[in-house]
Chain A
């Protein structure tokens, strides 16, 4: 059994970002991951690095998101330079297309409130009426308009995962697949012992990061971490490829670097069910055809449902255990958008052993109604 500085439970987008960042800081870490068929949220990801509309009711989250989107530029460039893997990040801004006037009004209202809440955070957006929208996105359908936010962007989430893995391994990081973790225990002399589901001890580490997606709830509870998350199903439709015609990501459709259009995503609370539903697929495609009529005769390449990690208020849950200092858990549904912050900033908290005061709102104690009656 080896001794590590940090053991990371979960090799998804969060775990991989932490692994990369810790390796970059010179720490010896190990990542435990499940097998080929693990419930992997990265696979269902739409690939947005998205700021627009996020953070209503929690300005810290709006700022955190905006900061990550700013960090992304340099982050993507570093990954490309160090690993040769291009995450295909583009930050040309994104559009929220509104299919009717009511939709348009309520979306503008939401963004205005966010701007007020964010204060000096620099939350920018623009209202784009139909004629101007057509000029910027010639293939858009007969819709009243859209809102545009220059901070939005998109990337290839699968490339991001690959870049993080490659960079981590290049720095000597250890990756242990097919190892489902079942037990986390504090050692008498400090630090933790990690064991697999079969009870076999697989590592000892000074610190722990639980980033095991839907497995975090149970694992976290063993070391005093409350991870109040539940699966939210999102269905996505992918079309055949085409030459590039849509340069901006939108709320309904984005065209990937490979040329496919991603349509969706829907959201629904469906337990751990990952099956797609014809009615949902019909609604997704109907909206997307209204927004982009040229998609009508595109062949559907595949449809899928993935399970997002959702928290009761939709905002991240970040914490260090009170009873077991050194054990951290991080959970959120924005693994792509927040990847830059996770890799560059959160790893510093882990090294230092402290989550800064200004990020306290991300602690799950906000769900304690007595303590915080304002929580939604």
Chain B
């Protein structure tokens, strides 16, 4: 949906659902994913409808993803960091799996 009109001068490497993505320092995670062609960020809790960024200023909470195992983070409010693992937020967070104390 989106492309960059500037070359990536300071690259940051992250992974979305096993797919390596090169982003630009200062990008939000949402911008990085959109530039890489990702459209769906989360799946709703009931049913299988997909959602993606709508407002990009932290108001709509539609761009929630899972970053390094932490669920429900707003991709538009998170900055890219080298090595982060980003995943689609699939429905509700599942405390038994990653959150075990």
Contact = CB atoms under 8 A, between A and B. Distances in A.
Q: Within 8 Å by CB, do A and B touch in the complex?
A: yes
Interface of A: 139, 141, 240-243, 245, 259, 293-294, 296-297, 299
Interface string B69-94: 01010000000000000000001111
B19 to A, nearest CB: 26
B17 to A, nearest CB: 20
6 contacts: A242-B93, A242-B95, A243-B93, A245-B95, A259-B45, A297-B99
Given A259-B92, A297-B70, A299-B72, A241 B45 contact: yes
Contacts of B94: 242-243
Residue among B45, B92, B100 facing the most chain A CB atoms (10 A cut-off): B92
A258 to B, nearest CB: 9
Nearest to A296: B101
A207 to B, nearest CB: 44
Please report whether the interface of chain A is mostly helix, strand, loop or mixed according to DSSP: mixed
Contacts of A243: 91-96
A59 B99 CA distance: 43
A240 B93 contact: yes
Interface of B: 45, 70, 72, 91-96, 99-101
A241 B101 contact: no
Nearest to A293: B101
Please report whether the interface of chain B is mostly helix, strand, loop or mixed according to DSSP: loop
A141 B101 contact: yes
B96 A245 contact: yes
Given A241-B45, A242-B95, 18 more contacts: A139-B95, A141-B101, A240-B72, A241-B93, A242-B92, A242-B94, A243-B92, A243-B93, A243-B94, A243-B95, A243-B96, A245-B95, A259-B92, A293-B101, A294-B100, A297-B70, A297-B99, A299-B72
A79 to B, nearest CB: 22
A296 B101 CA distance: 9
A131 to B, nearest CB: 17
Given A241-B93, A243-B94, A259-B92, A294 B99 contact: yes
Of all A-B residue pairs in the complex, the 3 with the closest CB atoms, nearest first, are A293-B101, A243-B94, A242-B93
B64 to A, nearest CB: 10
Contacts of B96: 243, 245
A241 B45 CA distance: 10
A241 B92 CA distance: 6
A288 to B, nearest CB: 13
A108 to B, nearest CB: 27
Nearest to A141: B101
Residue among A141, A241, A243 facing the most chain B CB atoms (10 A cut-off): A243
A294 B72 contact: no
Contacts of A299: 72
Residue among B91, B95, B96, B101 facing the most chain A CB atoms (10 A cut-off): B95
Nearest to A261: B95
A153 B82 CA distance: 48
A291 to B, nearest CB: 12
Contacts of A294: 95, 99-101
Contacts of A297: 70, 99
A318 to B, nearest CB: 41
A149 to B, nearest CB: 25
B73 to A, nearest CB: 9
A245 B96 CA distance: 7
Contacts of A242: 92-95
Contacts of B91: 243
Contacts of B93: 240-243
A297 B72 CA distance: 11
A259 B94 CA distance: 10
Contacts of A141: 101
